[in-house]
Amino acid sequence: MTSEPSANTLTRGHTAARTGPAWMVLALACACQFMVILDASIVNVALPSVDRDLGFTAAGLTWVVNGYLLTFAGFMLLGGRAADLFGHRRMLATGLFVFSASSLAGGLANAPEVLVTARVTQGMGAAMLAPATLAVINTGFTEAGARARAFGAWSATGGVGGMAGAVAGGALTTGLSWRWVFLINVPIGAVLIAAAMTSLGGRRTGRREPLDLTGAVTGTAGLAALIYGVMRSTDHGWTSVPVLGPAGAGLVLLVVFTVVEARFATRPLMPLRLFKIREVAVGTGMLLLFGGIAIAMWYFTSLFLQNVLGYGALRAGLGQTPAAVTFMVIARRAAGLLPRTGARPLVLAGCGCFVAGFGWLSQAHAGSGYVTGVLGPTLLIAVGIGLTFPTLMAATTADVPEGDAGIIGGLAGTAGQAGGSVGLAVLATAAGAGTQAGTGGRSPAAALAAGYDRVFLMAAGLGLAIALAGLLLPRHRRG
């Protein structure tokens, strides 16, 4: 950990969120984030082996992935508020235990329903973990430069975790067994629980408040139903009952949730007063849009490498490694610039990279070479992600009171996950339509390339939308 800033440079003032050295707290938060994001992608490569061993149906196999993502996104607001009420250390340790125990159950699963149940429970553990890591950073590093550097490290680690999933999943499945993509979490989780208990303070926010059960039920159920409906759009039309039914119910529940929080809850799960902070309101909207950018970059670029250029899954993961390393480096550099420049210039520069990079990537075709067709534009996009993501996370959470650090972490995480879920569904539909339109007289690879090119053009449009929203950010972050 010699690359991490020292305790003196990382923190000044408030230190009640930690009892151990600053580098240990930051390493713990980064390790938890890495594990959560890694697990969202590591399973993908192992799915064929899982299917052969456990005998899934085609529809059932998708829920090995979707079950995790659904509960991860749906329960994050609740996990964030629980961290505020019951203590960051307690929720971090609980989330690690649930995550690790469900990983053990998944690794030992002998039937499809057991594995899906384990993945659903794993998502709940991740929903406790993710906002707690944000809260630990936000309350443990209060000086502007220190917090920015901590968020840069946290963001970079999560991004690398997502990319490492394909490589690690392929290596574990090939060298050992698909079961090890789950079992590997057990010893890691045990070490992180011990680190959490020794490096974090156990103090609560100072408020002894009951959990807003009505808000918890309506908010969690609404988010889960909406995301479930959107996920089903990849197998059913957007106007079909399997999509509109749960999505409509989710929207109704979210309206009820908003009314309850605004008028009836004495201690709301999601205090709407937080949206009076400009960075929270604008940043949350931008993170929703950013979810689509992330999906277009990592998911659809991987599909392009495999389905158009003919790469295997492991080689495709390695092909995206340069972009992941670039993102990690730029995220750390952006964190150092943030206190001096403010959020707006970094976000606008990142969006310029999105527009240029995705515009370049949309010109790739079946005959493109890796270096000029994929590597060049993805490096440019990775620079944009490195400038934008840690900046948005730091800006969105900067001016929030300590007692709301967990819920704002949950809100930021939910925005990114929900944006990714909706983005995946919308972009997958666009890719399918583009592929169908490009089939006339073309090879299958060329038709697929036409579909992915449409996705990349849409991602460039998302970059423009984020840039317009970025103009609403203050020129310099407050205090």
pLDDT at 15 over 70: no
pLDDT at 6 over 50: no
Instruction: Confirm if 469 and 285 have CB atoms less than 8 A apart.
Output: yes
Residue 342 lies in a domain: yes
- Whether residue 292 sits in one domain with residue 182: no
The CA-atom distances, in angstroms, between 190 and each of 89, 102, 164 are 14, 13, 21
Distance (Å, whole) CA 366 – CA 373: 10
Q: Could you tell me what percent of the chain has a pLDDT over 70?
A: 89
Give mean pLDDT, residues 413-440. 81
Instruction: Confirm if 394 and 409 have CB atoms less than 8 A apart.
Output: no
- In this predicted model, which residue has the larger pLDDT, 335 or 187? 187
Which of 153, 180, 201 is the last residue in one of the domains?
201
Taking residue 7's Cβ as centre, other Cβ atoms within 10 Å add up to: 17
pLDDT value at position 119? Answer: 92
Residue 316 lies in a domain: yes
Please give the DSSP secondary-structure letter assigned to residue 401.
Answer: -
Please give the DSSP secondary-structure letter assigned to residue 75.
Answer: T
pLDDT at 217 over 90: no
- Indicate the pLDDT class of residue 9, thresholds 50, 70 and 90: very low
Burial (0-12, 13-18, 19+ Cβ within 10 Å), 330: buried
- Whether residue 291 sits in one domain with residue 220: no
What is the rounded (10 degree) CA torsion for 324, 342, 11, 332?
20
pLDDT at 104 over 90: yes
**Lowest-confidence segment of 99-108, 169-178, 242-251 by average pLDDT:** 169-178
**Lowest-confidence segment of 110-114, 317-321, 326-330 by average pLDDT:** 317-321
pLDDT at 352 over 90: yes
**Lowest-confidence segment of 163-177, 190-204, 231-245 by average pLDDT:** 163-177
Residue 473 lies in a domain: yes
Distance (Å, whole) CA 272 – CA 472: 19
- Whether residue 223 sits in one domain with residue 190: no
Taking residue 79's Cβ as centre, other Cβ atoms within 10 Å add up to: 28
- Whether residue 122 sits in one domain with residue 245: no
CB neighbour burial string for 185-203, b if at least 16 within 10 angstroms, e if fewer? beebbeebbebbeebbbee
pLDDT at 432 over 70: yes
What pLDDT digit, counting tens, does each position of 288-313 carry? 898 888 888 877 888 888 888 988 76
pLDDT value at position 105? Answer: 95
Amino acid letter, 16: A
Distance (Å, whole) CA 466 – CA 349: 11
- Whether residue 449 sits in one domain with residue 305: yes
Highest-pLDDT range among 154-158, 165-169, 346-350: 346-350
- Indicate the pLDDT class of residue 10, thresholds 50, 70 and 90: very low
What pLDDT digit, counting tens, does each position of 376-385 carry? 999 999 999 9
Give mean pLDDT, residues 206-231. 79
Give mean pLDDT, residues 145-151. 74
Residue 10 lies in a domain: no
Residue 249 lies in a domain: yes
The DSSP bridge partners found for residue 200 are 18
Which residue, 8, 322, 300, is CA-closest to 160?
322
Taking residue 272's Cβ as centre, other Cβ atoms within 10 Å add up to: 11
CATH number of the domain enclosing 174: 1.20.1250.20
Which of 221, 242, 268 is the last residue in one of the domains?
268
Distance (Å, whole) CA 298 – CA 103: 24
Highest-pLDDT range among 32-46, 334-348, 422-436, 451-465: 451-465
Residue 6 lies in a domain: no
- Whether residue 281 sits in one domain with residue 264: no
- Whether residue 248 sits in one domain with residue 380: no
pLDDT value at position 14? Answer: 39
pLDDT at 286 over 50: yes
pLDDT value at position 13? Answer: 35
pLDDT at 62 over 80: no
- Whether residue 341 sits in one domain with residue 436: yes
- In this predicted model, which residue has the larger pLDDT, 144 or 1? 144
Distance (Å, whole) CA 302 – CA 279: 33
Which of 201, 222, 241 is the last residue in one of the domains?
201
The CA-atom distances, in angstroms, between 27 and each of 66, 102, 135, 138 are 29, 23, 14, 14
- Whether residue 121 sits in one domain with residue 26: yes
The CA-atom distances, in angstroms, between 465 and each of 275, 289, 385 are 20, 8, 15
Residue 12 lies in a domain: no
- In this predicted model, which residue has the larger pLDDT, 397 or 107? 107
Taking residue 338's Cβ as centre, other Cβ atoms within 10 Å add up to: 26
- Whether residue 262 sits in one domain with residue 218: yes
What pLDDT digit, counting tens, does each position of 18-37 carry? 455 677 788 888 888 888 87
pLDDT at 476 over 70: no
Q: What value does the mean pLDDT of the chain take?
A: 81
Distance (Å, whole) CA 100 – CA 466: 36
Distance (Å, whole) CA 258 – CA 128: 22
pLDDT at 444 over 60: yes
400 lies in which domain range?
277-479
Which residue, 402, 286, 296, is CA-closest to 344?
286
- Whether residue 386 sits in one domain with residue 347: yes
pLDDT value at position 374? Answer: 92
Which residue, 426, 432, 435, is CA-closest to 461?
426
- Whether residue 348 sits in one domain with residue 220: no
Instruction: Confirm if 207 and 83 have CB atoms less than 8 A apart.
Output: no
Whole-prediction pTM value? 0.78
pLDDT value at position 65? Answer: 79
Give mean pLDDT, residues 157-180. 74
Please give the DSSP secondary-structure letter assigned to residue 5.
Answer: P
DSSP track, 230-297: HHGGGTS-TTSHHHHHHHHHHHHHHHHHHHIIIII-SS-SS-GGGGGSHHHHHHHHHHHHHHHHHIII
Residue 80 lies in a domain: yes
Q: How many domains does one find in the chain?
A: 3
pLDDT value at position 4? Answer: 37
pLDDT value at position 163? Answer: 66
